[in-house]
């Protein structure tokens, strides 16, 4: 059965979609095709919108954000506790001691000592004094002097001995302090210049005084005990 073009009325074969006379498309085929395309696009758009909604929900869910924030806070607290228990704060004053000498920086050098001790010696360790000390090392070892160190060993100071240190500080420096921890530290110190090099083993005593670590040169428990004995103080 033949069909006719809706525009010009020319006869068309059943399988023809374009009129051979005026080139008009078959409206029925065209509408069917357009409808199919429209439905496909609509379905794809709906699927994409749904997926985006799920993504936005996952990223912006207040409950999930709160859980993640809480987990991060717990981790930070745990890190702080572990650092406090196993930390090496006692090493910092030792590092500042050698760094202050190397840089001829009095502020860094004095930060290696407890505040009351630094106050007593700061007039002898201004930047000019530190520069003079470094110049003397250059005279002995040559230019480009490098001061380095290695911690070889440490020994924990007993509680009874810490009490002696605390009493010594009170008697000798008129300072009421709390000495809570202490270490006897063996250090290998190396001074090297262009002309010479020396390596020696030295001993430092590092104490945690009023919650802050600091070096008190030469103040061993035995020295504190001897001082207290000679000054008629109780052990």
Residue 138 predicted with pLDDT over 80: yes
pLDDT number for residue 231: 85
In this structure, of 45-59, 169-183, 202-216, the range with the lowest mean pLDDT score is 45-59
Task: Report the alpha-carbon angle 216-220-225, nearest 5.
Answer: 120
Residue 195 predicted with pLDDT over 50: yes
Residue 22 predicted with pLDDT over 80: no
pLDDT number for residue 34: 42
**Average pLDDT for 89-116:** 96
Find residue 192's DSSP bridge partners. Answer: 146, 197
Query: β-strands 3-4, 197-209: how paired?
Result: unpaired
Q: State how far the Cα of 128 lies from the Cα of 190, in Å rounded to an integer.
A: 23
5-9, 20-24, 201-205, range with greatest mean pLDDT:
201-205
**Average pLDDT for 143-168:** 96
Reported confidence tier of residue 121, pLDDT bands at 50, 70, 90: very high
pLDDT number for residue 71: 75
Q: State how far the Cα of 136 lies from the Cα of 130, in Å rounded to an integer.
A: 10
The CATH number given to 91-230 is 3.10.450.100
> Tokens in use for 93?
């004053």
pLDDT digits 0-9 by tens, 25-81: 654 444 444 434 344 444 444 445 445 544 454 545 666 677 777 778 767 455 544
């Amino acid at each position: 059965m033949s069909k006719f073009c809706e525009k010009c009325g020319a006869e068309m074969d059943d399988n023809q979609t374009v009129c051979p006379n005026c080139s008009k498309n078959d409206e029925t085929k065209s509408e069917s095709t357009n409808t199919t395309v429209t439905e496909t696009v609509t379905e794809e758009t709906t699927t994409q919108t749904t997926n985006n909604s799920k993504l936005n929900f996952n990223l912006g869910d207040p409950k999930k954000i709160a859980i993640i924030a809480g987990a991060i806070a717990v981790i930070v607290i745990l890190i702080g506790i572990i650092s406090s228990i196993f930390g090496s704060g006692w090493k910092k004053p030792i590092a500042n001691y050698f760094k202050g000498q190397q840089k001829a920086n009095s502020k860094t050098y004095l930060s290696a000592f407890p505040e009351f001790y630094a106050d007593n010696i700061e007039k002898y360790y201004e930047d000019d004094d530190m520069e003079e000390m470094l110049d003397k090392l250059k005279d002995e070892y040559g230019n480009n002097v490098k001061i380095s160190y290695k911690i070889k060993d440490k020994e924990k100071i007993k509680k009874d001995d810490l009490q002696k240190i605390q009493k010594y500080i009170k008697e000798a420096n008129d300072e009421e302090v709390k000495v809570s921890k202490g270490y006897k530290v063996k250090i290998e110190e190396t001074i090297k210049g262009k002309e010479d090099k020396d390596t020696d083993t030295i001993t430092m005593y590092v104490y945690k005084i009023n919650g802050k670590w600091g070096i008190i040169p030469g103040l061993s428990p035995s020295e504190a005990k001897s001082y207290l004995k000679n000054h008629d103080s109780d052990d």
